[in-house]
Amino acid sequence: MNIDAIIDQLGGASAVQALLGVGPSAVSNYRIRGAFPEYARVKIWQALKARGVQVDPETLELIGAVAEASSPQTTASTAASSTASSAASSGGVTAPSILLIISGGIAAYKALELIRRMKDKGWQVRVIMTKGGAQFVTPLSVSALSGEKTYTDLFSLTDEAEMGHIRLARDADLVVVAPATANIMARMAQGMSDDLATTAVLATGAPILIAPAMNPHMWANPATRANAETLKSRGMRIIGPDSGDTACGEEGAGRLVDPMAILSMAEQMLPGQTPLKNRRIVVTSGPTHEPIDGVRYIANRSSGKQGQAIAEVLARHGAEVTLISGPVDLPPPAGADVIRVTTAKEMLSATLNALPADAVICAAAVADWAVDGAGKAKLKKTPGQPPALTFVENPDILATISGHPQRPKLVVGFAAETETPVAHGDDKRRRKGCDWILANDVGAEAPVFGADDNQVHFITAKGAVTWPRMTKHAVAEHLATEMIKELTHG
């Protein structure tokens, strides 16, 4: 492949950066490697075709007049580097290549689940383990899941002969450090290269995602905070840590985030990975306020955290998201258009206005009743005579959307239940005519309304699956994974 000629045909390095959503160093790396990452091949082929350039879709070899016009010298040199580049590049379109760095810590076992999830996506996963990481999980288990050799040693002659550490770093489309200890973050922030992991981090041109896991005091320590800020200021992304009980018996921020959340962030960081692109999704969220008079209202304890997490995660997956939110105290979620409403009636009309859509997710805690005849004037207090409020039923937004002539392909509701959540949730799914229900047990000891965590039962026509208790963000990631399957393959 004559990579320089292709870059020229696409309008130069900055045009390629814009096309693939990468930085200048990535394009320089492609030139050094003599190959584009495999996942970018289709995009490049389509962009060349759109410019009227004839190109072989398999090899990206330019064909005809353009190929002849390309400098023979350049062709020769890039052909050599192309041969040296990864064997995968000679085939058709293949998956992105991830370099996963596992550093030491009890959370290292969760990296196994992360590898499994990445492999489910069809990604190539190469793993470097630090000495500490190898104390918690064995390279053998890692290799069994990744299907690749696991690298541990900077000075291994065999490893260097098979795949030099620079190539390991350069071939990656994304580097993920999970779990990241305080130690590796400190060494990364200092630019050290005293083991294979830190050397690869220094040598890579790929984006880097860090998922810290450590004792809460270590995470809170000013030294770690400063290191995290330094890494962020260099463009690295940090996800988590989550709060809760940690393995060392202390409570606070320090737990590795759910592997699904790491997966989703990794997916977002891979250029061109937006599985919900061109999908319109409407999310209702938060409580509704139903006025009693001009100054008083009836509300519930929904904070909007669950609905907003869903909106944010779906937007990150490339969806065009409209969030219809009742009154909440949260900042607007990144990437979504927000429509603010107060009452159930307003929420219904905003939701109908947002149609057509590919999916509607009703996460809002909509008031079932409104006060009959509520006016603007403040009700006067008459001692000994409290007002007798009467109620009228509010419209059911979920049921209305499920039976609407413009019904989206996928309609999802929540169910807030205080007993037998699966049975009641499934009953709600049938009665309201939606496809899926996420039933949460709001009567359980652990709070759901306003909390950061949730435990839901995912109910479809096929049955119910109980997801473990996790952050609302992770619930959103799990839901997004199911939605991607449904909307893109179903």
Binding site for ligand PMT (CB under 6 A): 284, 286, 302-307, 344, 362-366, 368, 394, 396-398, 413-416, 428, 440, 448-450, 472
Strands (E), 124-198: 124-129, 150-151, 174-180
Minimum CB–partner distance for residue 206 and ligand PMT (Å)? 35
Minimum CB–partner distance for residue 449 and ligand PMT (Å)? 5
CB closer to ligand PMT, 142 vs 371: 371
The separation between CA 362 and the C-alpha centre of its own chain, rounded to angstroms, equals: 20
Minimum CB–partner distance for residue 287 and ligand PMT (Å)? 7
User: Which phi and psi (to 5°) does residue 90 adopt?
Assistant: -85, -10
Residue type, 212: P
Kindly state the helix (H) or strand (E) to which residue 74 belongs, with its residue range.
helix 72-84
Minimum CB–partner distance for residue 307 and ligand PMT (Å)? 6
Residue type, 115: I
CB closer to ligand PMT, 64 vs 450: 450
CB closer to ligand PMT, 129 vs 370: 370
CA-nearest of 419, 453, 452, 458 to 438 is 458
CB closer to ligand PMT, 109 vs 369: 369
- DSSP letter for 363, please: -
Active site residue 248: yes
Instruction: List the catalytic residue out of 223, 248, 446, 451.
Output: 248
Query: Who contacts 331 (Cβ-Cβ below 8 Å, separation ≥6)?
Result: none
- DSSP letter for 457, please: E
CB closer to ligand PMT, 111 vs 416: 416
Residue type, 41: R
- DSSP letter for 287, please: B
Q: For residues 347 and 353, what is the distance between their CA atoms, to the nearest angstrom?
A: 10
Minimum CB–partner distance for residue 35 and ligand PMT (Å)? 45
Residue 224 neighbours by CB distance under 10 Å:
21
State the number of CA atoms in the 13 A half-sphere of 349 facing the CB. 6
Catalytic center residues: 248
